[in-house]
């Protein structure tokens, strides 16, 4: 599945993230930028992720910054009665992740710093910034869509792979990213809306 987010130059992306109120400085090491599609096709990996090292662009990849439809339509109730986690866009999340295991099984970036979320509980198929902003630790990890990496998979639908996590659906690309950054102490994340 190709992302619906338009193509940007690295200069456009860096200018955008530097304009955000929460911007402090471009991290020295690796950091990840997520761009949320304005179209928000339900249950589809239609967002884009970008791996940077300082101001150097490394790679672009399809991902989702939204929960899957099963969680949006009530699956969140087993975790939270208010709504599914939806990360607030146009924010920097400095030192958000550290290398670890997602659900104790998958090599991943696990949340160790605070993040801002909304609780989307209206039960429709769209992930939305509704209600009040909440800050805290919610288990918003960066991971892929498979626990067994012995063969390459590109997952077409989000399904239950995200209840708020930032998820890459191409296991080959994901493993490349994780292997590059896993020895870095902390990973910063920035999430923007398509512009």
Confirm whether 58 is domain-assigned.
Answer: yes
Confirm whether 20 is domain-assigned.
Answer: yes
Query: Cβ neighbours of residue 12 under 8 Å, at least 6 residues apart?
Result: none
The closest alpha carbon to 95, from 80, 117, 110, belongs to 110
CA distances from 176 to 19, 31, 58, 173 (A): 29, 14, 11, 5
Confirm whether 113 is domain-assigned.
Answer: yes
Confirm whether 1 is domain-assigned.
Answer: no
Query: pLDDT 10s per residue in the chain (195 long)?
Result: 456 789 999 999 999 999 999 999 999 999 999 999 998 889 999 999 999 999 999 999 999 999 999 999 988 888 888 999 999 999 999 999 999 999 889 999 999 999 999 999 999 999 999 999 999 999 999 999 988 888 898 999 999 999 999 999 999 999 999 999 999 999 999 999 999
Contact 48, 62 (CB under 8 A): yes
Domain that holds residue 56: 10-193
Confirm whether 5 is domain-assigned.
Answer: no
Tally of structural domains, the chain: 1
Provide the pLDDT for residue 149: 83
- Determine the Cα–Cα distance for residues 74 and 83; give it in Å rounded to an integer: 8
């Amino acid at each position: 599945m190709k992302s619906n987010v338009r193509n940007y130059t690295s200069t456009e992306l860096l200018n955008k993230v530097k304009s955000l109120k929460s911007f402090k400085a471009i991290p020295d090491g690796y950091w990840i930028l997520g761009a949320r599609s304005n179209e928000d096709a339900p249950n589809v990996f239609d967002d884009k992720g970008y791996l940077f090292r300082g101001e150097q662009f490394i790679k672009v990849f399809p991902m989702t910054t939204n929960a899957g439809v099963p969680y949006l339509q009530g699956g969140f109730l087993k975790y939270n009665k208010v709504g599914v986690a939806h990360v607030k866009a146009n924010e920097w999340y400095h030192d958000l992740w550290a290398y670890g295991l997602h659900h104790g099984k998958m090599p991943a970036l696990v949340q160790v710093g605070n993040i801002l979320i909304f609780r989307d509980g209206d039960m429709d198929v769209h992930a939305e910034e509704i209600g009040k902003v909440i800050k805290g630790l919610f288990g918003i990890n960066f991971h892929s869509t498979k626990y067994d990496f012995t063969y390459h998979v590109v997952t077409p639908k989000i399904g239950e792979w995200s209840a708020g996590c930032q998820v890459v659906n191409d296991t080959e690309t994901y493993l490349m990213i994780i292997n590059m950054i896993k020895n870095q102490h902390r990973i910063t994340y920035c999430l923007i809306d398509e512009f």
